[in-house]
């Protein structure tokens, strides 16, 4: 197994540590080929989801879910690949060099099973992001070794009484000579019973405010078993294979070397590492919608009603095209979010919050739209449509966790008036590389993420595009008209943001502030769609270069904003519908990558 080219860079192998290659065509090709090879290898190993003999088939994954377990074959597959290496930076012997590539890999897992993606890996990645951001060399090395050895790491922020208001958390690490004494509980923690280490968000000072917490990376083996216990397992509505429990510490000593970063840096560190995880995780979950859309297309082309196939019923066909467009919108925003971490790290706080707010919400809404086409089958837990129902149950978990929708809006709200004053209609546009899914990037600048920014290059890209849009075909004219509407929306956002009262810029803001954050997130999604289309126009993917999808996607976003844009040229709908069918028959993914799928 170790000679497999897909698992290079494991301990014991020589990892080149020279300077990153200058981003250029050769580097683009090399990174892109490597990413495609890894994705294809993973997809091949997962195999045909319809084959009953495949232990990773939909039926087996459903059976594991019914039993409240992660798929044993799925865990084995990821163990064999040392999949944890995806979460470890290349400089530490892993395979993490680009956040968008991590999303691409994880999407193949989420495509099959959200619980496996979350339970096997994501919480380890969230815990690790703290250490990559602020850990000492020794902590980084140790965590890399644990992960590359296949161990799980739990991320323990949550305390039920405080929800996302983690500044009020009570779990204490009381300073004592040489270290800390841990006291209290962490609840609903994934893999708490089995993880080799825990990333613990802990109160290190009695004072109120945002300088009273620190993050500790504590290994299970360091703990006095008399003073530490694992709480009973929680049973959730979705992701039923995930082993969610909790931790209870009773005056349990740990050494000072467990602290990640400076004393009192916990909130700041959390907000910085959240930018990485918030940007990345929603994009992974797009895989679940991708599979669900394929399931419903199969149903629609196969089933006869009123003497025609469901696909020939206009409402059903429009719903499927709409779901495909939503998927492309989500992927455009997720792409920009992950690439911004590399290219615009000081602007990422707002983009990451917009991704984490809007993408899970759109995925959940779109699953509901699709369920209407499936009709009664949507209610069945087993067989061909059982996996669809499982994805419906599992996806909402993404809107929970450490950054609920409201918490993400609350990250955006205090920045709106600053952006309105300083950024909108004045700043420089983003580099084109922000919008190119296959262009090379250099490593993740963990140390450059900022808590707030006075710039918004993504919005500036839409503003700058206005004077430079093609206007030859009806589809291009439609894009142009919709972009003008979006420009009006930004003007309106600016006006409304400048008139927010102080109370409306706190966590207790009125619903209208939250609505403003929602409109801004939708606007950013429109800017992402426009950027992806414009960047695709100079070659490569002929579908992404076609104005038809861009016009149709912007049209959907305009309607989401409550606008009533003019009808699209009829050819737009036809082009999108044709692509829905092509990708179904050719077994290609519905996201920006048009990836060949197994089976």
Partner 1 sequence: MSVPATDRPTSTQHTEHSVESLSSWLADRIALYLQRSPSEIAPSVPLAEYGLDSVAALSLCGDIEEDFDLVLEPTVAWDYPTIDALAGHLVEELRDVQSEAR
Interface residue list for partner 1 (CB under 8 A) = 165, 167, 207-211, 267-268, 410-411, 413-415, 417-418, 421, 450-452, 454, 501-503, 505-509
Angle in degrees, CA 497, 490, 330, rounded to 5: 105
Q: CA 418, 419, 420: angle at the middle one, nearest 5?
A: 90
Burial group, residue 346, by CB count within 10 angstroms (0-12, 13-18, 19+): middle
Which residues touch 437 (CB under 8 Å, ≥6 apart)?
100, 335, 532, 592, 593
Min dist. Cβ of residue 277 to partner 1 (A): 18
**209 vs 574, which CB is nearer to partner 1?**
209
- Judged by CB, which is closer to partner 1: 389, or 405? 405
Q: Which is nearer to partner 1, 248 or 504 (CB)?
A: 504
> For residues 279 and 282, what is the distance between their CA atoms, to the nearest angstrom?
7
**DSSP conformation letters of 395-452:** GGGGGSTTS-HHHHHHHHHHHHHHHHHHTTTTSPPPPGGGG-TTS------GGG--S-
Element (H, E) at 156: strand 153-156
Smallest distance, partner 1 to C-beta of residue 258, A:
23
Entry field: residues in the chain: 599
Give min distance, CB of 434 to partner 1, in A: 23
Give the largest CA-CA distance in the chain.
80
Q: Would you say 20 or 507 has its CB closer to partner 1? A: 507
Query: Which is closer to partner 1, CB of 349 or CB of 461?
Result: 349
By beta-carbon proximity to partner 1, the closer residue of 31 and 417 is: 417
Our CB check for partner 1 shows the closer of 109 and 420 to be 420
Residue (381 or 421) nearer to partner 1, CB: 421
Spatial separation of the C-alpha atoms in residues 275 and 491, rounded to whole Å: 27
Select 399 or 411, whichever has its Cβ closest to partner 1: 411
Residue 314 vs 502, nearer CB to partner 1: 502
Going through 295-430 in order, the beta strands assigned E by DSSP cover 304-305, 308-309
Ramachandran angles phi, psi of 185, nearest 5°: -120, 150
* Contact criterion met (CB below 8 Å) for 142 and 221: no
In the complex, the smallest distance separating the C-beta of residue 268 from partner 1, rounded to whole angstroms, is 6
- Residue 494 and residue 487: Cα distance in Å, rounded? 11
Q: How far apart are CA 515 and CA 160, in angstroms?
A: 26
Residues 6+ apart with CB under 8 A from 407: 164
Of 450, 458, 431, residue with least CA distance to 520: 458
Phi-psi region of 307 (alpha: psi -120 to 50; beta: other; left: phi over 0): left
CA atoms lying within 13 Å on the CB side of residue 81: 25
**Distance in Å, CB of 418 to partner 1, minimum:** 4
Through-space distance between the first and last CA atoms of the chain, rounded to whole angstroms? 23
Instruction: For partner 1, give the closer residue by CB, 410 or 524.
Output: 410
Phi first, then psi: what are they for 182, rounded to 5°? -85, 140
Q: Rank residues 77 and 270 by Cβ distance to partner 1 and give the closer one.
A: 270
Of the two residues 144 and 410, which places its CB atom closer to partner 1 in the complex?
410
Give the dihedral of Cα atoms 580, 582, 587, 588; nearest 10 deg: -70
Distance between CA atoms of 330 and 297, rounded to whole angstroms? 19
With beta carbons less than 8 A apart as the criterion, state whether 91 and 17 touch: yes
3-state secondary structure of 174: strand
Contacts within 8 Å (CB) and 24+ apart, 566-575? 566/478, 566/481, 568/478, 569/474, 569/475, 569/478, 571/474, 571/475, 572/475, 572/478, 572/548, 573/318, 573/321, 575/475, 575/546, 575/548, 575/549
Alpha-carbon gap, residue 66 to 76, rounded angstroms? 19
Between 210 and 499, name the residue whose CB sits nearer to partner 1: 210
């Amino acid at each position: 197994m170790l000679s497999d080219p897909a698992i290079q860079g494991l301990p014991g192998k020589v990892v080149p540590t020279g300077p990153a290659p200058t981003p250029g065509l050769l580097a683009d090709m090399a990174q892109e080929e490597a990413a495609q090879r890894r994705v294809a290898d993973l997809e091949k190993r997962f195999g045909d989801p319809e084959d009953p003999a495949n232990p990773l088939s939909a039926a087996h994954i459903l059976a594991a879910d019914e039993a409240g377990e992660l798929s044993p074959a799925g865990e084995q597959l990821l163990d064999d690949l040392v999949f944890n290496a995806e979460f470890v930076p290349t400089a530490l012997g892993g395979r993490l060099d680009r956040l968008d590539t991590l999303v691409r890999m994880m999407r193949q897992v989420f495509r099959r099973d959200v619980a496996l993606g979350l339970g096997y890996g994501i919480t380890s990645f969230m815990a690790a992001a703290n250490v990559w951001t602020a850990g000492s060399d020794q902590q980084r090395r140790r965590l890399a070794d644990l992960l590359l050895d296949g161990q799980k790491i739990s991320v323990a922020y949550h305390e039920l009484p405080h929800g996302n208001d983690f500044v009020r958390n009570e779990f204490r690490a009381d300073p004592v000579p040489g270290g800390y004494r841990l006291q209290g509980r962490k609840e609903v923690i994934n893999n708490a019973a089995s993880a080799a280490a825990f990333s613990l968000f802990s109160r290190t000072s009695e004072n109120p405010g945002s300088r009273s917490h620190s993050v500790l990376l504590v290994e299970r083996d360091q703990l006095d078993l008399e003073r530490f216990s694992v709480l009973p397992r929680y049973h959730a509505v979705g992701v039923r294979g995930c082993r969610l429990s909790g931790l209870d510490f009773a005056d349990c000593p740990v050494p000072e070397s467990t602290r990640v970063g400076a004393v009192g840096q916990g909130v700041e560190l959390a907000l910085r590492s959240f930018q990485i995880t918030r940007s990345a995780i929603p994009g992974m979950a797009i895989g679940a919608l991708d599979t669900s859309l394929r399931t419903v297309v199969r149903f629609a082309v196969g089933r006869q009603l009123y003497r025609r196939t469901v696909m020939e019923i206009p409402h059903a066909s429009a719903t499927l095209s709409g779901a495909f467009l939503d998927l492309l919108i989500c992927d455009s925003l997720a792409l920009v979010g992950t690439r911004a971490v590399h290219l615009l790290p000081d602007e990422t706080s707002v983009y990451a919050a917009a991704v984490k707010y809007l993408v899970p919400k759109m995925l959940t809404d779109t699953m509901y739209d699709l369920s209407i086409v499936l009709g009664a089958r949507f209610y069945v837990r087993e067989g061909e449509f059982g996996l669809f129902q499982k994805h419906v149950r599992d996806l909402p978990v993404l809107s929970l966790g450490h950054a609920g929708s409201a918490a993400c809006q609350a990250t955006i709200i205090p920045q709106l008036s600053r952006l309105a004053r300083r950024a909108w209609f004045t700043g420089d546009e983003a580099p084109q590389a922000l919008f190119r899914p296959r262009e090379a990037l250099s490593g993740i600048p963990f140390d450059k993420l900022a808590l707030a920014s006075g710039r918004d290059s993504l919005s500036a890209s839409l503003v700058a595009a206005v004077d430079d849009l093609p206007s030859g075909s009806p589809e291009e004219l439609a894009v142009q008209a919709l972009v003008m509407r979006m420009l009006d929306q930004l003007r309106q956002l600016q006006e409304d943001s400048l008139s927010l009262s102080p109370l409306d810029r706190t966590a207790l803001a009125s619903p209208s502030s939250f609505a403003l954050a929602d409109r801004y997130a939708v606007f950013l999604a429109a800017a992402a769609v426009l950027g992806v289309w414009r960047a695709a126009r100079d070659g490569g993917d002929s579908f992404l270069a076609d104005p038809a999808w861009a016009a149709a996607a912007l049209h959907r976003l305009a309607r989401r904003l409550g606008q009533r844009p003019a009808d699209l040229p009829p050819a737009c709908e036809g082009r999108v519908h044709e692509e829905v069918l092509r990708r179904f028959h050719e077994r290609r993914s519905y996201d920006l990558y048009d990836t060949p799928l197994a089976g």
